[in-house]
Every structure is written in C-alpha cells, then in structure tokens.
Amino acid sequence: MKVLLVYPEFPDTFWSFKHALRFLGKRSAFPPLGLLTVAAMLPESWEKRLVDVNVRPLRDSDLDWADVVFLSGMLVQAPSMQELIARAKAHGKRTVVGGPIVSSQDASVAGAHHRVEGEAEEILPELIRDLERGEARPFYKRDMLPDPKTSPPPLLALAEMNRYSSMAVQFSRGCPFTCEFCDIIEIYGRKPRSKTPGQILAEFDQLHRLGWRGRVFLVDDNFIGNKKSVKALLPSMAEWMRAHRSPFSFITEASLNLAEDDELMSGMRKAGFTSVFLGIETPVAECLKETTKFQNLRHDLLTSVRRIHAHGIEVMGGFIVGFDHDPPDVFDRQIQFIREAAIPLSMVGLLTALPNTQLWRRLKAEGRLLKQSIGNNTLADLNFIPRMDSQKLLEGYRRILQTVYSPREYFERASAFMAQLGSSARTPLVFADLLAAVRSLCRQGLQSNYRTEYWKFLLRAARQHRARWGMVFTLAIMGHHCFELAQAQENS
C-alpha cells in the first residue's frame, strides 16, 4: 500500500509565524507531528510519503503515486482541507481524514471516504486491517483515550526538516482545568496523559541524529497539566542537553499556575526552556470567573508574569475580548496590562465558540450562536451574539491590536521585558541566527517604515543586553510578524 500523508495549509495567523519565517529562510513553523506519528504506526511494509503544503505544493504526480491519501488538521485549516480532499478524490484516490478537525464535525471533512475521530493509537489497527481488506468503513470513532506511552516516535525522516523553523515533540495530552471556551478538554480529556522521559529522550536522540539544532516546540496543550510527571522529566532533559552541548532550546504552552512553583520554573530553565505560551485571557476578574479559568484568579496576574520572567523564561500571552462580563473599558485595561506585564508577544483574539465546548453549549442554549467557528479568533470569527454591542467590540479589538503592535509600543515592551529577565537568560547570537540577523538589519533597519523605532530598540539592547543579541533579533523579527498581522486585521 502506498500512503500519501498530506497536511493542509495554515492561514496567516499568530501561530503560522509566516512573516517571521521569511527572515529565517524557512517555509513553515512546525512539521505535522500528528501525521508523522501516524506514519510511524502504519505497517512497515507500506510505502509512505509526506506532502506538507505549507512547505511545497501538492503535485499531481504525488497523487498518481498514492493508493490512499491520509489527511489531518485543525479547524483553522478547513478551507485547504476541503480543497485537498476534493483534489485527491478527483484523482480517484481513497481519502482518510483525522485530527481535531474531525472532532469539530466541520463540513470540510464530510467528503472524505473515511473519517477518523479520536486518537490514532486506538483506532489505527482496525483501520489498517479494513483498508487492507478493502472494506474500510466511512467513520471510525473511539471514546477511549489511549495511553501515549504506547505511542512511537514520529517518522521524522519523511519531513524536509530544514524547511521548518522549529521541530515538534509531544510529552502529554489533556489538561486538568475547565476553561469554558476550550476544546482541548473536550477532545483530549481532563486527565493529563504523558509519555515517559525515556520516550522523550528517544525523540530528542532522533532529532539530534537527523541533524536538527535549534528550537523544539513541546506542543502539549498544557505542559504542566501533570506537574509530577513534568518534574520527573525535567532533570533527564537537562542531563540530555548537557551531554549533547545544548543543541536545542524549548518552547511550550502551559497554565499560569506555573508561576506558583519555583522548582518547576527552575527545572524548566535548566532543561533549556526559553519561552512559554500562557492563556492569561483578561485582567478582568469577573470574566475569568465567567469562563471558569479559576487558576488565573489565585494570584495577581502581573506578579505571576514577572516571576516567570525572573526565572529567565519569556511569557507569550494569549488574551481574549468578547466575554459577557467585559466592562466598557476592557480594551484600555487589556492594553495597560500587556504594557505593564511587558509581554512582547501578546496574541489578542476575539472569543469564539468552538464546536462542542461548554461555551458553545451555553450559547446554543441561550440562542446566541450565529455560525460555525473558523477557529482563528479574529474579526471574521465572531460566531455568537456578544453582550457588548458588536460594533464596539470589533472597534475595541482593532484598537488593542493597533496599540500593542504599534512599533514604538512593541519595541518599548520588548526592552522592558528583557530588563525583567533573570540574569541567567543569556542568549548570544549563534552562527545559525546570523543570516536572519542580517536580513533583519536590511529589511527592518533600512527598508521598513518603522526603522527609527527599530534602531532605538537595538541601541537600547547594545547598552543593556549585549549578552542577548540572539533574543534581540528574535524579538525584532517576531515584532515584524505581529505588525503585519495587526495591519491585516485593520484592512479586513
């Protein structure tokens, strides 16, 4: 059997890092970890190829080669998914689609011959058997959540690794919290399930053996969902890094209760974590209560962010407007919080009701749902009737973006952030980053319309952060990505 694994296109969002990738000479931020893991579970005798259309287009010759086309993706990839399924079918190929988009019951996957809902470990053996017999069913589903300890390392050899700016590794699935808008807990459950340290180190070994050096994203929904298992992992990660001369730096996603645990923060720093994405959502306590994000109410939010920064770990923050309890001044309060917290990369989105979440069910019961979410939390994605006047909400949302991503505000915030970092956070410019730094100097320093603010930022860095030139250029380049995104929202 010849299996073509196809990953649909990501639109231009915060997580695509599209405008930053140009500086790095890369095509995409992360390889499709889910598909690569599925590939590792398919029979060895099956031939496999991967086409990530974020890296290169799907060619007719790819489809000609295949017996069956496996696709996987998230809701935000729906338009590309639909197109790819139609194209494969037009070529007379059998299509199998999986991933979170199937759990979202999105119309884009309805045309596939076989839909797979749930995690691959439980379902694949049956699907493989049925495909081999030529009697695969249209729909496969398992409600049981598998133990990732049975999951093999992804088949990375299928990916063109040098086209990506980061590699991806998953340690755990699921999250113990109850945020009303979250689909993770609906799909992956509230009991975090993790791999063993041995599995993770084996994945690092594979990356290292294949020549990868640089960023590795631990793509867990909440890396610290089970603190005990993370604390068991971190020392072996630190040891592996020491033994291999620190070839990687790690970023991940976690919950804000990270700031309560010094041992955890120090352990992450020692293991090589440089950044963590946290869902802060809002400085308005009533909204946090509304969305049952109680873990963000335990401590002062600003203090929590500063504690993580002081451990040498950059906080990237997720922020949301559109809650029922948003007061009229919520936009100013969000802007003020982001400024005071000094979070350079603040992803501000509109609340959206993802399918089958607690929020979706509540809004449906209240008769306030308008349409299916497209999963990108931007202007086009307001899919319910908000309590605040819609026009005011959209204008306020735009104003937050325009303010926090005005170049002056951004670069001042980036400088303030570096001043908060603990002294252990030394990030010199390494050889691999040199070309990106040169591109930044040319494009941002000479050709951009914000070059004055850019040079002020570099001058401040030259005075105060000479041990952090690697971070300085990363922040500058990421700033460019965010300026472009904010502009796109302004124009939409």
**Residue with tokens 């005990």, as numbered in its chain:** 228
Which of 68, 185, 216, 233 lies at the binding interface for ligand SF4 (CB under 6 A)?
Answer: 185
Residues in CB range of 100: below 8 A, 6 or more apart: 73, 74, 75, 183, 187
Binding characters for ligand SF4, 39-78, by CB under 6 A (x = yes): ----------------------------------------
Report the distance separating Cα 471 and Cα 145, nearest Å: 39
Q: What is the DSSP string of 208-277?
A: HHTT--EEEEE--SSTTSSHHHHHHHHHHHHHHHHHTT--EEEEEEE-GGGGG-HHHHHHHHHHTEEEEE
Closer CB to ligand SF4, residue 158 or residue 254? 254
Token digits for 412?
């001042």
Which of 20, 58, 109, 182 lies at the binding interface for ligand SF4 (CB under 6 A)?
Answer: 182
Please report whether residue 355 would count as binding ligand SF4 according to CB under 6 A: no
Closer CB to ligand SF4, residue 189 or residue 247? 189
Report the distance separating Cα 315 and Cα 310, nearest Å: 10
First CA to last CA across the chain, in angstroms? 45
Give min distance, CB of 176 to ligand SF4, in A: 7
Please report whether residue 346 would count as binding ligand SF4 according to CB under 6 A: no
Q: Tell me how many residues contact ligand SF4 (CB under 6 A).
A: 10
Which range binds ligand SF4 by CB under 6 A, 63-71, 142-150, 171-179, 329-337? Answer: 171-179
Give min distance, CB of 222 to ligand SF4, in A: 5
Please report whether residue 457 would count as binding ligand SF4 according to CB under 6 A: no
Which range binds ligand SF4 by CB under 6 A, 6-14, 46-54, 175-183, 335-343? Answer: 175-183
Please report whether residue 179 would count as binding ligand SF4 according to CB under 6 A: yes
Which of 11, 267, 272, 279 lies at the binding interface for ligand SF4 (CB under 6 A)?
Answer: 279
Token digits for 307?
């504690």
Where would I find the beta strands (DSSP E) of 309-422? 314-321, 346-350
Closer CB to ligand SF4, residue 256 or residue 486? 256
Please report whether residue 386 would count as binding ligand SF4 according to CB under 6 A: no
Please report whether residue 177 would count as binding ligand SF4 according to CB under 6 A: yes
Token digits for 387?
């309590």
Report the distance separating Cα 484 and Cα 51, nearest Å: 27
**Residue with tokens 């915060």, as numbered in its chain:** 14
Residues in CB range of 431: below 8 A, 6 or more apart: none
Give long-range contacts, CB 8 A cutoff, 24+ apart: 451-458: 453/407, 453/408, 453/410, 453/411, 454/407, 454/411, 456/411, 457/411, 457/414, 457/415
**3-class DSSP state of 434:** helix
Closer CB to ligand SF4, residue 172 or residue 378? 172
Which of 175, 241, 288, 308 lies at the binding interface for ligand SF4 (CB under 6 A)?
Answer: 175
Binding characters for ligand SF4, 243-262, by CB under 6 A (x = yes): ------------x-------
Binding characters for ligand SF4, 220-239, by CB under 6 A (x = yes): -xx-----------------
- Nearest partner of 400 among 481, 320, 325, judged by Cα: 320
Judged by the rule CB under 6 A, the positions of this chain that interact with ligand SF4 are 175, 177, 179, 182, 184-185, 221-222, 255, 279
